[in-house]
Structure 1
Amino acid sequence: MDDTLTLDERRNLLVDRITSGRALPKSVERAMRTVARHRHLPGLEPSKAYTDEAVSIKENPDGPLPLSLASVPSIVAMMLTQLDAQTGDFVLEVGAGTGYNAALLAEIVGQDGKVVTVDIEPNVALHARTALNSTGYTHVTVIERDGLKGAPEHAPFQRMIATVGLWDIPHAWWGQLDDGGQLVLPLRWRGQTRSVSLTRHGNRFVSTGMELCGFVPIIGQDGEKTSELADGIRVHYDQDQAVDPGQLTGVFSGPPAEVWSETRVGGQEPFDGVWLRATVSDDTVCRLEVTKEALDAGVRRPAIPVRSPALVVGGSIAYLILQREDADAERPWRMGAAGYGPDGAHLARDLVEHIDAWGADREAVPTMTIIPAGAVSDGLPAGHAITKTETAIVLTY
């Protein structure tokens, strides 16, 4: 980047790059051109605030993921587009972070609107409050609180947005959002995370869109489990799934059964839709994580080692793999599945069916309907149900 550019010019150049790949509502674009992101990231070289990258603001002494991040600006723009906040709206944000997103929201809703942001981490809430005060957004309300509780004293809200990963929608949130209001959250199921935009219709939420994303998980939800299957190989699965890690001991000791699909992808073409497609009909979908050490030991390389979809049943597993076949083709990579264990070949064929179903309609996005756990399910669309702790989800095409 040109070192002679001013910070305002760098900010506008970043927004130009974002809008070259995604049209933004005028209110979102104006806010991103107005709010000085670098002033929410003290200690960082100011010019680096205007790269399309996440920035860690609070490390986690107990794990690999930080406790708080300043999100990638293009993801921020995407989620604000999903939220579709309007002038005068009352908005609740869960996950205060640097205060940057709250400042953007304040610009979007204007003086007649209201923005409340909550964070469980005292230092993060203080950071957000300090940054918002120093940049002129003193009217934004910052609360140090468990975000799973929301902010009932400021409800009702017309919009709610979470900037931390959620495994489930807390019961406390339902009564804080107006009927017809919009909720946007990074929702986790079957090992993947999608930014899901949901509209409340009485006692249910119905999705209006889904986008791939990744966020630090919220503190206080533990519906996702992780088990080590071998040195450097882990499987991540949901609490309602019948995964018994003990049955998978030694599953990688033999050679894999490889099954190949007719579906191909380009070098820069996303294929995460395979994962999404599989979760709409298959309860065996999990996330596989394989380290470099395990790959060096001879385990078949997954399509993306740190996060590839896998099917797990009993003592068998199959996961997504790629093979480069024609370097000159528009789509040189063939997609397939590697299966281990007694039923590995069968699971690999099942995964290939999901691959080919996605390959036949790569842009299709399912509809998600969510109701509170135990609520009357009459009138729900026919589809695949996933049971969580506080909600039930139905996915359908």
Structure 2
Amino acid sequence: MSKSPLETYRSDYAEQIARLTDLRDRRIEQAFATVPRENFLPAPPWTTISSGIATQTSDLADIYDNVLVAIDRVRGINNGEPALHADWLDAVSPQPGEMVIHVGVGTGYYSAILSRLVEPGGQVEAYEYEADLAAKATLNLADYRNVSVHAGSAFGRPLPPADVIYVNAGVVAPDVEWLKALNPGGRLIFPWQPGKGWGPAILVNRQTGGFSAKPLMTVGFISCSGVVEKPPISRLPTQIDLAAVRSVWIGSERAPDKSAVAVYEDVWFSSAEIEP
């Protein structure tokens, strides 16, 4: 049986994302092929953004491409770049049966993809600070029975134990509660933007000896809403400091030492590897 045009758009799009990111987990490609992106966007015409160029379109084929799609241009909110998210999803590797906390849900598209990756038996707890976006996400995700949308901040509050914490908002430093919520073997990914603007995505793994941290690609995300951002106690980390990060620590559990490259009120980053 031949595919419909829409099925072809989606399958070609998923194949494109897989090629661009060299996916290890092909389930991610399948999730991109089956979750309808248009259901999580404003009504057409849509504004797609590629290489900083905005284009208006009402053609479904145009949103099934590796482009940003504007949700609210005034607030700088968009449906993020698919290839970047595929890279992140591959890095944190959500598995069936796992618990995911999604921070900065927007209108819910990547929560829907996360929900597919943790089926069967997994759960996504999705947090969105902006009330209007949370309301839209709630409607958009109504058929995704393993997703619960929370209208409020996931910063500065105790969170349920999680295997994956997926943060889609830039932060000066990770919330200490995110680290505390990670199960053994749990993974956290977030955009570290200590000077605001662009910064590295950081992949954190909870190991027996502590929290390993690995800088990935440079990214730029809208800042996390509802957060009182506090600067480091000493100085802003340099680009060399950012690249040197190998672990992150809860300050109340271990005081900063000579390996510290950035020190905040509750957490600090170190250039030292986690001891096995």
- What TM-score do you get using the length of structure 1 for normalisation? 0.58
Aligned to 1:392: 268
Aligned partner of 2:178: which letter? W
Change (3 A) 1:203 1:190: farther
Aligned to 2:11: 12
Aligned partner of 1:141: which letter? S
Kept in 2: contact 1:92–1:151 (CA 8 A): no
CA shift for structure 1 position 12: 2.0
Range 10-19 or range 211-220, more displaced: 10-19
Change (3 A) 1:91 1:22: same
Distance in 2 (CA, whole Å) between partners of 1:16 and 1:218 is 31
Aligned partner of 1:15: which letter? A
CA shift for structure 1 position 371: 0.8
Equivalences, count: 253
- Are residues 1:139 and 2:146 paired? yes
- Are residues 1:75 and 2:84 paired? yes
Aligned to 1:168: 173
Aligned to 1:148: 155
| Superposed CA RMSD | 2.7
CA shift for structure 1 position 176: 1.8
Aligned to 1:52: 66
SS at 1:217's partner residue? coil
- Are residues 1:241 and 2:235 paired? yes
CA shift for structure 1 position 83: 1.1
Structure 1 residue ranges, 4+ long, deviating more than 4 angstroms after superposition: none
CA shift digits 1:324-383 (9 cap, x unpaired): xxxxxxxxxxxxxxxxxxxxxxxxxxxxxxxxxxxxxxxxx64421112243248x7x64
SS at 1:389's partner residue? coil
Distance in 2 (CA, whole Å) between partners of 1:198 and 1:143 is 24
CA shift digits 1:81-106 (9 cap, x unpaired): 11111111011100111211111011
Aligned partner of 1:368: which letter? R
SS at 1:188's partner residue? coil
Alignment of 1:119-268 (within 5 A): 119-133=128-142, 136-149=143-156, 152=159, 155-190=160-195, 192-201=198-207, 204-219=210-225, 220-223=227-230, 240-241=234-235
**Unpaired runs of 5+ in structure 1?**
225-237, 243-274, 281-364
Kept in 1: contact 2:158–2:177 (CA 8 A): no
Change (3 A) 1:239 1:56: farther
Distance in 2 (CA, whole Å) between partners of 1:194 and 1:12 is 30
Q: Say which of 237, 240, 250 aligns to 1:372.
A: 250
SS at 2:271's partner residue? strand
Kept in 2: contact 1:69–1:216 (CA 8 A): no
Kept in 2: contact 1:31–1:108 (CA 8 A): yes
Distance in 2 (CA, whole Å) between partners of 1:37 and 1:222 is 32
CA shift for structure 1 position 201: 2.9
Distance in 2 (CA, whole Å) between partners of 1:209 and 1:85 is 19
Aligned partner of 2:69: which letter? V
Aligned to 2:241: 279
CA shift digits 1:170-211 (9 cap, x unpaired): 122233221221111111235542211110136842124512
Distance in 1 (CA, whole Å) between partners of 2:12 and 2:96 is 26
- What TM-score do you get using the length of structure 2 for normalisation? 0.81
CA shift digits 1:293-321 (9 cap, x unpaired): xxxxxxxxxxxxxxxxxxxxxxxxxxxxx
Change (3 A) 1:39 1:70: same
